[in-house]
Amino acid sequence: MTEDGVRGAPLTADNLAALVGGSGALTALAVTAASPSTNSELLEALAADPQAWPHMSALVADHQTSGRGRAGRGWDTPRGAALTVSFVVRPHLGAERWGLVPLAVGLACVRTLRADGLHAMLKWPNDVVVSVDGADVPGWGPLRKVAGVLCERQDDAVVAGIGINVSQTSQELPVPHAASLAMVGGRHLDRRELLDGLAHRLATLMIEAEHDPDALVADVAAVTFTLGQQVVVESPGQSPLSGTAVRLGADGALVVRTAGGDDMAVHAGDVRLRLA
């Protein structure tokens, strides 16, 4: 429940039908009452019948029971408390620019939450955060994660999963650096409206990525909290990389300047902030 005890109405095919076609940004939408993981389910469906899932089609679950984050981390939500959706996007990008897709997805989420009155930011590569008053959390400082992105490529498509914490209480969130929109002052907690805004912004940003990728990188950089911060990046099979996050590369990589003055491009990894 939210802090005032109200939980959102269930998401159903009927109450989401207007988001498809016409003025809606979605080309197709499947709705399920519960899914272990919308990304896993959509990847299987896409492999079985690619033609059934055109660009900007989506699978949304009213309740996700075994969601997946980066590095296989679990992410579960109480029924009706979060927006859990996976989109199929089919970008027309050169191979060197596919790293822009998760950034476009994250920016779509940031802009959707900013339209709701929250000063959302990106914590590279896949966390959407807001800054709160109160005790700092190690590696996160005053930042609290309100949404996460997980993008997985399959042939010429990307399944882009987004989970937004909407109405959970602090007791319902699995880690101390997480928060819900209800906890940080979100004005509107209607998951249908959030999904509609998210779909429209993602569709627009995918067009921008294809026609002016440098502009997209600049737009993402403008809302990326990580830039300018002291960071430690941990990537599988590599030693931790410490330095200052100085910019985003043309391919979406995070460029970290080491103490020795070398600029190192990071394409994937967990970024821990060293906040003063």
Reported as a single tens digit per residue, the pLDDT across 145-200 is: 999 999 999 999 999 999 999 999 988 888 889 999 999 988 778 999 999 999 99
Both 157 and 42 in one domain: the answer is yes
Contact 213, 250 (CB under 8 A): yes
Both 217 and 241 in one domain: the answer is no
**pLDDT attached to residue 141:** 85
Instruction: Classify residue 37: in a domain, yes or no.
Output: yes
Query: Domain of 76: which CATH number?
Result: 3.30.930.10
Query: Domain of 263: which CATH number?
Result: 2.30.30.100
Both 161 and 269 in one domain: the answer is no
Output the six-digit token pair for 50. 């690619």
**pLDDT attached to residue 3:** 37
Full residue range of the structural domain in which residue 32 is found: 13-222
Instruction: Classify residue 173: in a domain, yes or no.
Output: yes
Q: With a threshold of 0.95, does the pTM exceed it?
A: no
**How far lies 196's CA from each of 116, 160, 250, 263, in Å?**
13, 16, 29, 39
Task: Say how many C-beta atoms besides its own lie within 10 A of residue 208's C-beta.
Answer: 15
Confidence of residue 74 (pLDDT cuts 50, 70, 90): low
| Number of domain units in the chain | 2
Nearest to 216 by CA among 230, 228, 202, 229: 202
Residue range 55-64, pLDDT digits in tens: 999 999 998 8
